[in-house]
Amino acid sequence: MNRFVTQHRRDAMALVTASVKLTWAELNAESARLAHFLERVAPAARHIGLRAANSADYVIAVYAIQLLGKVLVPLNTRLTMSELVEQIETADLDVLLVDEPIELPIAQFKVTARDETLLATPYEWKDDEVMSLMFTSGTTGRAKAVKQTFGNHIASAEAAKIRLGYGTSDRMLIVTPLFHMSGLAQVYRSARFGSNPLRSNRSSMSSGHSS
């Protein structure tokens, strides 16, 4: 995904929330600082879980995990503790990024963690490599872990562009949790096309339009 992000104008707006506005240069730098932190404290980690509320830091974490070439595992913040334990075990998580620590025996770090140093060399993804692991809703049984490759995410973004006409002037209003594919997909689409994802809240509702 980094190959697309670096094509965007560095001073163009990349992310807007009620309290944060980041250009592509700033978003890239914040992600690279978190990526460097993760590489330093958990170099052997392969599957990285993300359990946090929608925020600028959540988007930064998504990019940071992608920069490292690790598998992102977004976790539903509404899960019971037993459901969370089961999904952590199923996904074989090595590290968990959180906005608040939880009482579970797994390495946890705040989603706001950063190093001063930026990650030097971003990972270059191949189309057939698994980039994320997301759980189904489990409405008819136990939630199942579904793998998505880098190629899957890019194909989804390209299809959305064809159907909805995404462009660099568009702003994507995220109204669903980022642990859900409908929310996370907007992050990948904005990375692909340079559109601007906005967090769902009253202040951002009036600052752009959704596509």
**Residue 80 domain-assigned?**
yes
The arithmetic mean of pLDDT across residues 156-172, rounded, is 81
**Residue 130 domain-assigned?**
yes
> How many domains are there within the chain?
1
Asked if residue 168 has pLDDT above 80, the reply is: no
Which structural domain range is residue 104 located in?
2-200
Among 102-111, 149-158, 159-168, 198-207, the range with the most confident prediction by mean pLDDT is 102-111
Residue ranges of E strands in 9-155 = 13-16, 21-23, 47-51, 71-74, 95-98, 107-110, 130-135, 145-149
Residue-wise pLDDT for 84-94, tens only, equals 999 999 999 99
**Residue 209 domain-assigned?**
no
Mean pLDDT of the chain: 86
pLDDT for residue 34: 98
Q: What does R_g of the chain's alpha carbons equal in angstroms?
A: 16
**Residue 86 domain-assigned?**
yes
Question: Of 93-97, 153-157, 159-163, 169-173, where does mean pLDDT reach its minimum?
Answer: 169-173
**Residue 27 domain-assigned?**
yes
Instruction: Give the confidence band of 64 by pLDDT, cuts at 50, 70, 90.
Output: very high
pLDDT for residue 202: 38
Q: Are 124 and 3 in contact (CB under 8 A)?
A: yes
Residue-wise pLDDT for 122-140, tens only, equals 999 999 999 999 998 776 7
Q: Are 126 and 154 in contact (CB under 8 A)?
A: no
Q: In this structure, what CATH number is given to the domain that contains residue 191?
A: 3.40.50.12780
Asked if residue 174 has pLDDT above 80, the reply is: yes
- The closest alpha carbon to 59, from 90, 21, 92, belongs to 21
**Residue 211 domain-assigned?**
no
Helix, strand, coil shares, percent, the chain, to 5: 35, 20, 45
pLDDT for residue 144: 87
Residue with tokens 């670096």: 6
- The closest alpha carbon to 131, from 148, 109, 113, 108, belongs to 148
Note the maximum CA span of the chain: 47
Residue-wise pLDDT for 2-44, tens only, equals 666 667 788 888 899 888 999 999 999 999 999 999 999 999 9
**Residue 91 domain-assigned?**
yes
pTM: 0.88
Residue-wise pLDDT for 180-205, tens only, equals 988 898 898 888 877 666 655 433 32
Enter the tokens of residue 146: 């579904």
Residue with tokens 């939880």: 102
pLDDT for residue 209: 30
DSSP tag of 38: H
**Residue 102 domain-assigned?**
yes
Taking CA atoms, 158 is separated from 29, 53, 153, 185, in Å, by: 26, 27, 9, 11
Asked if residue 167 has pLDDT above 90, the reply is: no
Beta-bridged to residue 134, according to DSSP, are: 146
